[in-house]
A = this chain, B = another copy of it.
């Protein structure tokens, strides 16, 4: 490998990032070398440190370099609420767009027997411990609405029932700002079937 140009190796390695092909990787590398060497050095150092130090929070499995993540350490958070999400990006989206002040639980995936992803791989044993130990008032299921997401939500719902924890799932229906005409068939049928009462408390059941 000592014989190969460093630059070519770096360009090739950049293509390990999702959505980055050879051309983009080349643009990244030339940009850093021509205009932002300090940025490149900082990126290299932070990336090394992150890959080395960042693991999972012992409570919620979110990425963190500490034993517990910033949200689990925050004393202002309501410890009686837990919101289950498939991955860290979903958690960040909820944090950015809702005023939810409870804790989270990150599955890092969804149940998929064909890919050998069972309850243990998505941390359901740890979630069960938490539900049995703590006095969780409400477990909010915020997994995706794909088939695997539905199955995962169902399995976690049953687990919570065994632990006698109240469970809710985020609403499915027509997107805000959506014209009915352009909404896909299954979403429309689902929205129609789970219609909520107007002028009442709006709860589905």
Contacts and interface: CB of A to CB of B under 8 A. Distances in A.
A7 interface: yes
Nearest to A9: B46
Given A16-B43, A30-B87, A51 B64 contact: no
Interface in A67-119: 70, 87-89, 92, 108
Main secondary structure of the interface of A (DSSP, over half): helix
Interface in A20-50: 24, 26-34, 36-37, 39-50
Nearest to A20: B28
Contacts of A89: 26-27, 30
Interface residues of A, number: 48
A5 B46 contact: no
13 contacts: A5-B64, A10-B46, A13-B39, A16-B42, A17-B32, A18-B31, A26-B92, A41-B48, A41-B51, A43-B47, A44-B48, A44-B51, A48-B48
